[in-house]
Structure 1
């Protein structure tokens, strides 16, 4: 019955859009809200020769500020100001072409109560990253939808496999019981490309959920279900590019809507150019204006109409679906000034909303440029308080690989002074763009445990990639790294959701991860505690997380030998405590002269 209700709701939305289509082919955004801090609204109308029509709005609460036309006569951008005392309802947009007159009744909705209040993200949050096409297929009937160019083919590692919104909704209990607090999904907006579209990063409609995943309404209901389970949702937002089959690519609103592929080619993919005070114009242009991929046209935010369009799109999705935060794809590739305007307007509507920027650089200074007040040259201030911590990720790989030195992560953390908000960095040991860490660590389970315990207990907000909790281990191309979740399809012989046919090692690491992830949700020290680290000795790393009512001691013996640690080294932190309880084993250990730690073993103690 629920599925029927969703279909009927979607049908009503489609019928409403068809009614509007009698007047124009497209109108974006399709509706808006009263009570916004920014009362200005830009409405895009697209139709044959719409620029030659007479367009009027006669409503005392709606002030038309301008009608902007471009060189393309098929577009008009209406800029209106909504009165502060406007009420929910509709206002007419009248379109006159010769003797023919049509009317669009544009809807202004009421905002939900406390719509601008968004939950905080803290150090004991755990974000579960899902590639939706590869997680679970609850509605096989949606795998192939008329009008969509790429059919489902589970045998094609680069093709669509059929995961959908309902598949995620059906397994929220699994995600919650694992210890996650938040879900982040690779983009679910429409990617109607002829091939390699499953990843979601080549949008063909910024306002529509891809029909092979479900509907806008189903996406909204997924957010509601997460909230009912005291969980949050982070939406993946793409600014840098669109898909080559985006609806506007066949009839661009303006010549400068996208950057020229012939002139700029592919991006040089050098993010550090942005923060280089000696940058050449050539390198800067190729970075900003070059295509991320040949099927991803580069968007030009020097066009103010496009800039407004995309800012409104972010706000529309937050307001419509009540999402809790945004992850911004390829953040350094978009115009810096546009990003500041976007962030300013977003903060005006949703003060303090969580935004994490993907900044893929190897070294701390280049990463810190994006979230450190006063660190950037020319006084650049991004306003971003959370970035993806790639420098720490790469140092983790070096630290915990066979024969690795844990000094690498210690040294990386000593550079936290460069960040504006190191505690908000999103830390990870796997994501959708890199090889599975278990494979990178040469399938060494002990090293993998060390790495995951470090990730669970150091500073920052944890991001976890689906399947890594039970040793997904592929290290080949993206299509294989983003493999199907076992049990997400009815015919699967292995099922992680029921533990059917998992190996002993998979069950062991899943149990450990579940234990620690659920513990950290309740830990004040992980949430907001101070990090105190001691210089590693003999490849053993000791650090503490300290809050008012909790003191955690973490020991990572990254060496191949059992060692005895003299505890007086750590007296400044442990003095006054007589014992420690191992959170992993529940064993109580007296804090006397020394402690013996086994080779390649992590310890997480709560001091008593």
Structure 2
């Protein structure tokens, strides 16, 4: 009997020490793709030997963590054709294996379209838009709804179910906040990933993401995915058990705090002392900073974006906290993505109001020795200027000064202007600010150069202060309610007024290509009045000229503009497209009679 017990103990002990595979990142890959680096998570991988069932595939390098919990497998190539292989693991204490699939690549014709100034982007914070599938809300849903930072139940099916609403408004491109798994009681926003290869259960499934992408593409709309290569969440397994000590900048106990002043990065004379906390500090002192200088981390993050793009047929990426990652990573990241998806576009968050700083991160030009490859940054400078002009009574010349610096960008026409997003107080934060002021801001936003971005809820004049008050639930998206802003009949008069205003402006933009891709010429700016013209020459419409005028003053304005040697030279007629103001043309002057707090748009012939 004793011998049997000893044998049983030895057998259990050997089994406990046998190698185990728990997870492989990425979960699958594609034939003909660049050679992947597979990150295997498991147990007892120390001294493991790895082989592949396909003799044509080779492992160039294996890196195993000191505790045997992780192994990096750097493959020499991907197979030429789709197949499922066996990954075999052998140690002195046992063996195991796992199947791994290389799928056929997605047809490029049904996705990867990219976005441009012809589009209109709509930002959706998934958890706060619409609850399309109550079964994924969790057992404490009622309690969570009452928490300003709780999980409120918005999900991917909820977005898919309201695409009619978006299309009726005039939206062509949907940007969703991150779908990553976020195992934290307050990470409803998606920016604290605990698994970068899983859709959070609150949001739905990978199939739900694919359904959303397919539904958008069927309507000739586009999907932009929010990716976060800068950091992970505080509950990510790597915080306590990293694949390698170099995968993070610092540790939970010893790290620096991310510095939000980007100016030293743009200064050729600034010492490293003044720069390193931008790219190596932990964001908000809580989000662990990834070390993209480590080749394995860089490969992991690049593969992660490729995986999501290929899985869902994404059209673009919104890149979070862009300046907090060093430029060499961005150069290689974009080189890889653009080689695989030539039409795919990226927009980066550079939260700064200075065009000399924001433009530093734009791709298409070499600065600090490297081109980031970024298609465009968000236009934060015009965001700050528009808010100052309309909410703080700054002069219209402040916006003109921002536009004057467009020559700093290789492609200013790609910029993404906006008047609010999920990280800023609502435009209508101040109760004294009326939707009429919002209309004036919308007029400039939808007619200026670049691609306008609308934050979900601004189109119905939603109010709210700083985070989390700026992330209130979209009315009508969370169960029966009298105020369902998704439907015309249920909107309040204020909601309907704002919705109809933006809908009209976007329809004008859609029907007049000059407002999408035309040149922009500033004709007049003073304390209260801004006048500019968008022009476009095409074979069918050789001289499109759309004039935009805004008067934010409480008094009427009669403004006379000399049009000699301007884009309006030779114009003889001004047809009113929007607003009730009047325009009079003579041989060399334009006289605009603008009512108080009025926007006007004219088609000049």
Scaled by the length of structure 1, the TM-score of the pair is 0.90
Distance 1:74 1:115, change over 3 A: farther
CA distance in 1, matches of 2:313, 2:439: 36
CA distance in 2, matches of 1:53, 1:402: 64
List aligned pairs for 1:260-409, cutoff 5 A: 260-261=250-251, 262-371=253-362, 373-374=364-365, 376=367, 378-401=368-391, 403-409=393-399
Which secondary structure does the structure 2 equivalent of 1:269 belong to? coil
- Aligned position for 1:595: 592
CA distance in 2, matches of 1:556, 1:427: 17
- Aligned position for 2:59: 64
Distance 1:571 1:281, change over 3 A: closer
The Cα shift of 1:585 comes to 4.9
Q: Deviations over 1:233-290 (max 9, x none)?
A: 0000001110111133332111121122544332122122221223233332222221
CA distance in 2, matches of 1:265, 1:594: 58
CA distance in 2, matches of 1:586, 1:562: 12
List aligned pairs for 1:556-567, cutoff 5 A: 556-566=550-560
List aligned pairs for 1:160-309, cutoff 5 A: 160-193=151-184, 195-261=185-251, 262-309=253-300
Structure 1, 88-97 or 170-179: larger mean CA deviation: 88-97
CA distance in 2, matches of 1:445, 1:71: 60
Which secondary structure does the structure 1 equivalent of 2:298 belong to? helix
CA distance in 2, matches of 1:570, 1:457: 23
Q: Paired residue for 2:148, among 154, 157, 162? A: 157
The Cα shift of 1:99 comes to 6.8
The Cα shift of 1:347 comes to 1.3
- Aligned position for 1:433: 423
CA distance in 1, matches of 2:392, 2:298: 48
Q: Deviations over 1:209-241 (max 9, x none)?
A: 101110011111110100011100000000111
- Aligned position for 2:48: 53
- Aligned position for 1:82: 77
CA distance in 2, matches of 1:217, 1:116: 17
CA distance in 2, matches of 1:403, 1:249: 47
Which secondary structure does the structure 2 equivalent of 1:248 belong to? helix
The Cα shift of 1:502 comes to 3.1
Distance 1:372 1:248, change over 3 A: closer
- Aligned position for 1:139: 133
List aligned pairs for 1:11-22, cutoff 5 A: none
Q: Deviations over 1:535-556 (max 9, x none)?
A: 3146221101111122210011
Structure 1, 437-446 or 520-529: larger mean CA deviation: 437-446
Residues 1:107 and 2:101 aligned together: yes
Distance 1:83 1:179, change over 3 A: closer
- Aligned position for 1:11: none
Q: Residues 93 and 105 of structure 1 are in contact (CA less than 8 Å); yes or no, is this contact kept in structure 2?
A: yes
The Cα shift of 1:565 comes to 3.0
Which secondary structure does the structure 1 equivalent of 2:89 belong to? strand
Q: Residues 68 and 78 of structure 1 are in contact (CA less than 8 Å); yes or no, is this contact kept in structure 2?
A: yes
User: Does 1 or 2 have the higher relative contact order (CA < 8 Å, sep 6+)?
Assistant: 1
Which secondary structure does the structure 1 equivalent of 2:429 belong to? helix
Q: Residues 21 and 97 of structure 2 are in contact (CA less than 8 Å); yes or no, is this contact kept in structure 1?
A: no
Which secondary structure does the structure 2 equivalent of 1:438 belong to? coil
Distance 1:570 1:506, change over 3 A: farther
Q: Residues 115 and 173 of structure 2 are in contact (CA less than 8 Å); yes or no, is this contact kept in structure 1?
A: no
The Cα shift of 1:564 comes to 2.2
**Rg larger for:** 2
Q: Residues 325 and 353 of structure 1 are in contact (CA less than 8 Å); yes or no, is this contact kept in structure 2?
A: yes
Which secondary structure does the structure 1 equivalent of 2:21 belong to? coil
Q: Residues 130 and 184 of structure 1 are in contact (CA less than 8 Å); yes or no, is this contact kept in structure 2?
A: yes
Scaled by the length of structure 2, the TM-score of the pair is 0.91
The Cα shift of 1:296 comes to 1.2
Distance 1:33 1:332, change over 3 A: same
Q: Paired residue for 1:535, among 508, 524, 544? A: 524
Residues 1:44 and 2:39 aligned together: yes
CA distance in 1, matches of 2:557, 2:248: 60
Q: Residues 514 and 546 of structure 2 are in contact (CA less than 8 Å); yes or no, is this contact kept in structure 1?
A: yes
Which secondary structure does the structure 1 equivalent of 2:497 belong to? helix
Structure 1, 531-540 or 560-569: larger mean CA deviation: 560-569
Output the aligned Cα RMSD: 2.4
Distance 1:226 1:372, change over 3 A: closer
Which secondary structure does the structure 2 equivalent of 1:417 belong to? helix
Q: Deviations over 1:361-416 (max 9, x none)?
A: 1211011111165563x333212120011111111111122533111111110111
- Aligned position for 1:17: none
Distance 1:387 1:249, change over 3 A: same
Residues 1:412 and 2:402 aligned together: yes
Q: Paired residue for 1:453, among 440, 443, 468? A: 443
CA distance in 2, matches of 1:526, 1:392: 17
Structure 1, 336-345 or 91-100: larger mean CA deviation: 91-100
CA distance in 1, matches of 2:574, 2:243: 65
Q: Deviations over 1:324-354 (max 9, x none)?
A: 0001000011122112111111111112421
Q: Deviations over 1:414-461 (max 9, x none)?
A: 111111111111110010001111225941333221111000000111
CA distance in 2, matches of 1:105, 1:461: 44
CA distance in 2, matches of 1:54, 1:22: 10
Alignment coverage as a number of residue pairs: 579
Q: Residues 61 and 83 of structure 1 are in contact (CA less than 8 Å); yes or no, is this contact kept in structure 2?
A: no
Distance 1:151 1:334, change over 3 A: farther
Distance 1:151 1:269, change over 3 A: farther
Q: Residues 72 and 254 of structure 1 are in contact (CA less than 8 Å); yes or no, is this contact kept in structure 2?
A: no
Q: Residues 141 and 152 of structure 2 are in contact (CA less than 8 Å); yes or no, is this contact kept in structure 1?
A: no
Structure 1, 285-294 or 454-463: larger mean CA deviation: 285-294
